[in-house]
Every structure is written in C-alpha cells, then in structure tokens.
Amino acid sequence: MDDKAIGAKVRGLLPGQKLFNRYTLTRLLGRGETGVVWLARDGHEDRDAALKFLPEVIATDRSALVGMRRKARHAIDLAHPNIARIHDFLSDGQLAAFSVEFLAGKPLAAVRAGEPTKVISPDKLGPWIIQICGALDYAHNKVQVVHRDIKPVNLLLDTDNNVKVSDFGIAATLSDEDAWIFKEGSSTSALSYMSPQQLNGEPPAVTDDIYSLGVTLYEL
C-alpha cells in the first residue's frame, strides 16, 4: 500500500513495546489494506494475538471510534470453528486495533502458490470449501454479519489443516464508518474480489460475500 494512502501505516511501533496496558508487541506480521498487523502477547490471557491496527485517521477520531466499537460487538460475538475469533476492539485515543486469534498456518493463497500446477486440486480444495461455506452461512444467518473482504489471503489454515476465515466483520465495520478508505486506499488486487455493488458504495450485503467467494474459488 502506498505510504501516502490514507496514512494507513501506523508508525512508531517497536518490538517489546507494551500497548493498551495489556499487549506486548513481538514482531511485525505484515501490512494489510487498512493498516499494519503485529504479533503480540496478551498479558491478561497469556496467549498470542494478532493486533490489526487501524489507520491513524480513524484511531484519533472519537466519533468514528464510538460507532466502530458498537458495530464491532457483532464481529466479536462470532463463535464458529471455521472463523478466526476477534477477541476485542482496543483504543487509547492515539491507537486503535482489533485483537484477533493468531493463526500460524498458511493462507490458501500461499497453498495455491506452492502447488506444482499453481492451482489447488478439487479433491484437496473440496473439504475447505465446505468449511468456508459453513462459516459464511453461520455469520450471515445466525449473527447477521457480512465479511466484505473474502479473498485467498484471508482464508487461513490452522494446525489441524482446517480453514478459518479471518477478519470477519472488520472490513464491513470499517466501510460503514469510512467507505472512502476502500475506494481510495484499496489495492487493485483487493478491488478485483469486490462485487459491483460494493464498488459502487452500496450497503453491505450477503451477496457481496457470495460474489467474492466465487472469485476466490475460481482463482484457487
């Protein structure tokens, strides 16, 4: 992501730094469409977590944070074996982040890249498709939450070789507060998975996830 795009990269974070009176940063995991992701140790629960930091323009906007915290409750309520848990939404006036279940396994994008044919065989992909659809069905019908960012890098394998959908509800929550982030800050690769309705700025809908899942499965 371009450094100039919406100021999404959170600067000044260092390994060993303690944040939110609870998390100690371990190492940088990567950069997403809306900010940076760090591995951190949760001192309260004695577990690792992935901290997904939000753009500074949101982290310092009190009204945006109030709305995001309210909407984030739905994502935190998600409890399904094939959905990566969102533990908490954190803010301290300067920084804001989602604390998410840390998964050490590969995303399906990396699995595909590692295949000799550069595609995942139907026999191998089939069980994962069932798990992904089960997660979507649960979120859409039981909790009424849409993902809005289904793509191969957000489908992660756990230690038992099962798929977990990551970032569930985060993209929808962010787009509700600041839809322009995804229009101005999203990469071309991310846009290719979005439904036409999502690109036009229409409200989040189940059909957005169905469209993105179709694109994702075709690519895999």
Active site residues: 149
Give the 3-state secondary structure of the chain: CCCCCCCCCCCCCCCCCEECCCEEEEEEEEECCCCEEEEEEECCCCEEEEEEECCHHHHCCHHHHHHHHHHHHHHHCCCCCCECCEEEEEECCCCEEEEEECCCCCEHHHHHHHCCCCCCCHHHHHHHHHHHHHHHHHHHHHHCCCCCCCCHHHEEECCCCCEEECCCCHHHHHHHHCCHHHHHCCCHHHHCCCCHHHHCCCCCCHHHHHHHHHHHHHHC
